Amino acid sequence: MLDVMQDALEPHMSKETLEYHWGKHHRGYVNNLNKQIEGTELDEKSLESIILASYNKGDILPSFNNAAQIWNHEFFWESMKPGGGGKPSGELLELINRDFGSFEALIQEFKLAASTQFGSGWAWLVYDIDEKKLVVLKSSNAINPLVLGSYNLRPDYISTFLDKLVSWDAARKSVSGAMIDLKPPPYALDALEPYMSKETLEYHWGKHHRGYVNNLNKQIEGTEHDEKLLENIILDSYNKGDLLPAFNNAAQVWNHEFFWESMKPGGGGKPSGELLDLIIREFGTFEELIKQFKLAAATHFGSGWTWLVYDKEHKKLVVLKTSNAINPLVLDYYPLLTLDVWENLRPDYIATFLDKLVSWDAASSRLEAAKVSIEGKRDGGN
Ligand SMILES: [Fe+2]
């Protein structure tokens, strides 16, 4: 959704343009997609999952165009801000200088890509996760970097966009973050009631999680970790198991974000699709996975986390428990779900999480993203 008022980008982009482009064009894709997927296997999947599934390795299925256009438009609106333009800073600027020579050279390449795009499509600045560098891309119609296996930074609109509208803060946050943010849960703090109370979220997110963010920001200011991505702070300060001081705060920030995003209002139920297939292959039944997950959580000594992860080496699912702030990132697994485990749990907390709160959609999307990332790495390129 548009997080700016529709006239906030004037005079560089008019209210009429936004009303037309977002209010009609973008809305049309949403309505068409909803009609198209109703009652199909794509119903109830996340938007990213629909895009990946319907891209179908380049042999595009009918819902791809609408789904990708929705995602691309959302990403585009969020790439702009009132008072945008100017220059990026921090790690993003360093990467630009390294990969393009200068900021001006990036702008030139971006303008060239946008103005030479044949027909409709998108110009993108992306971070190529395999080559670890920034790349300017153009794509036709609805194709986007998600399906190309690159990690997305920011799409664009030629010069007005670059000079007046582009939100370099948004792009910078994608690669680094001079400050680590307290990311809110993807639902209101009372949205998990009655299974998890607003007070629990206010305490656990508003105070506990916030404390880790504030401590980490104080801790890394002016050090080599400043302006790094949270994931990189975690990996670097894990230091092959010989933990550096920033590790605990950094990993606790990441783990808590991941935990909030592992739940949703109206959660519970059963997974479907490939995730369910993998569960049955590995555990025999869904019920057996639940049993093992509950056992792992209930037998955890002290504080820590229970995880469902994808082991890329053995191509299988594993239930894992970790102590304190340790997480699957440093163990080289792809995490799919987590439950925050603390001492003196209420006895029904684990069951309530699994029956009423867990988001199997999130786990499925994470599995698909993991596979795209693994696939990209194996192919040695995009
Ligand atoms: Fe916690």
pLDDT (tens digit, 9 = 90+) per residue, 346-356? 779 999 999 99
Q: Alpha-carbon distance 150 to 5, whole Å?
A: 31
At residue 3, the pLDDT reads: 43
Q: Are 247 and 238 in contact (CB under 8 A)?
A: yes
- pLDDT of 169 > 90? The answer is no
At residue 331, the pLDDT reads: 94
- The CA 300 to ligand 1 mean position distance, Å, reads 14
At residue 171, the pLDDT reads: 64
- The CA 138 to ligand 1 mean position distance, Å, reads 42
Q: What is the pLDDT of residues 250-269, one digit of tens each?
A: 999 999 999 999 999 999 99
- pLDDT of 215 > 90? The answer is yes
- The CA 217 to ligand 1 mean position distance, Å, reads 18
- The CA 91 to ligand 1 mean position distance, Å, reads 30
Rounded mean pLDDT of 104-125? Answer: 72
Average pLDDT, the chain: 83
Q: Which residue has the higher pLDDT, 143 or 338?
A: 338
- The CA 325 to ligand 1 mean position distance, Å, reads 9
Non-local (6+) Cβ contacts of 329 within 8 A are 231, 234, 235, 251, 254, 335
Question: To which residue do tokens 């895009």 refer?
Answer: 51
- The CA 103 to ligand 1 mean position distance, Å, reads 41
- pLDDT of 82 > 70? The answer is no
Q: Confidence class of residue 2 from pLDDT cuts 50, 70 and 90?
A: very low
At residue 270, the pLDDT reads: 97
Question: To which residue do tokens 């198991």 refer?
Answer: 241
Q: Alpha-carbon distance 165 to 264, whole Å?
A: 34
User: Packing angle between helix 246-260 and helix 230-238, nearest 10 degrees?
Assistant: 130
Non-local (6+) Cβ contacts of 193 within 8 A are none
Which two tokens mark 382? Answer: 């995009």
At residue 1, the pLDDT reads: 40
Rounded mean pLDDT of 74-87? Answer: 69
- pLDDT of 79 > 90? The answer is no
Nearest CA-CA partner of 357 in 212, 232, 200, 145: 200
| % of the chain exceeding 90 in pLDDT | 43
- The CA 276 to ligand 1 mean position distance, Å, reads 28
At residue 78, the pLDDT reads: 67
- The CA 131 to ligand 1 mean position distance, Å, reads 35
Provide φ and ψ at 5, rounded to 5°: -65, 150
From the number of C-beta atoms within 10 Å of its C-beta (0-12, 13-18, 19+), residue 100 rates as buried
- The CA 34 to ligand 1 mean position distance, Å, reads 36
Non-local (6+) Cβ contacts of 321 within 8 A are 296, 297, 299, 300, 304, 305, 306, 307, 341
- The CA 259 to ligand 1 mean position distance, Å, reads 9
In this prediction the pTM is 0.58
Q: Confidence class of residue 165 from pLDDT cuts 50, 70 and 90?
A: low
- The CA 209 to ligand 1 mean position distance, Å, reads 7
- The CA 92 to ligand 1 mean position distance, Å, reads 31
